[in-house]
Chains A and B, each alone.
Chain A
């Protein structure tokens, strides 16, 4: 190694001085940083499967428990489906958000991210998009299992759109709050306490709109909760974008 060290010292010193210490290209880095965070999260998850497997097992347990606990007729099942689905997604999502940020904190990697010379909102968007991908993957696994267990077709385009919009809002605010809570000693419980009151404006219209699509209501009746859902998605993401820098800095 010593030979390598000497050789590299000589060549790199001359090279470095000529570039005045800057290999970093200053512009156009935002989207590259976002895609780098997504690539890193997906690759690490592909190797470990810690996050998605925990979320999936938890989700399946919840819907199985609901299935046995409620013991409902077909009509009643249709009524409770939206509530059961969103309760399942919310609890599993909390598990995933906690894990996603713990990985960053435990080995000091959050500092590594924050040291990069990029707008810190790029880190937020990268983490939020990868969290959304994991949540949607779990939902894709849960939906057919739920359909079989409860004897219902959940693959309705309207319902799938609501699940997508609700998940975006959930992950948008959840990623921000997970970043805050992971820096505290009580991070395991704090996220749930912080997240559920804040996420209600997303969950309630998502449940109402999901119920509407499951009951086959007219689109005009579902438009209002859908509009609220979209509005809260935009508001939550905009707020997270604006405050993320302050949340991560001591």
Chain B
């Protein structure tokens, strides 16, 4: 077990190192892509479209609302989709080498978490540029990001167990993920949903994460204890379920991939 977790770390490290091997800019791409994302949304929404939010006193308020949740969503959906097809992608390995599948999956989560950290740091950098106060409350981002990664690890692992049985899932999940994006208040305000379809918020696990990031970025407001408890329980539950299903199904999956 310990060896396998260490192995996941070394996989992640390698994955991270070699992703841009052979490119001219090399590891600069890790910074470039979130910077461009932040830049586009800032310029398009705050300058071109003149989207204004009156909630805080900053002409970039809308971008500040958008950036953290969007970066979090990027990580969330990437992990979900990479995990979803992980059994099929790694079939050649797990059929020949005695390394458990969760090692490969954990490595995916670790890589993406690391890139998430870089992009969040850039997001905070953006706040400094637009004169938004950055306080100690921002340290809450760390446990939130880890919790989010664990949650999506569990969710993705569960999906990945069913994908070998129903290959359709490989095609369906990206579409569902897109739907999920639009029912979550990332681009728009949560108030736009809370009156009409409050259930879409209550039963959307990602909403709790997105909302917490937005609170921190906009108001330097730490998540409430009740919310943290909720997220922790949600994450533990999904990890436990993933573990149970993994034990039950992994032997059969090795026979069919």
Q: Are A and B subunits of one complex?
A: no
Chain A residues within CB distance 8 Å of chain B: none
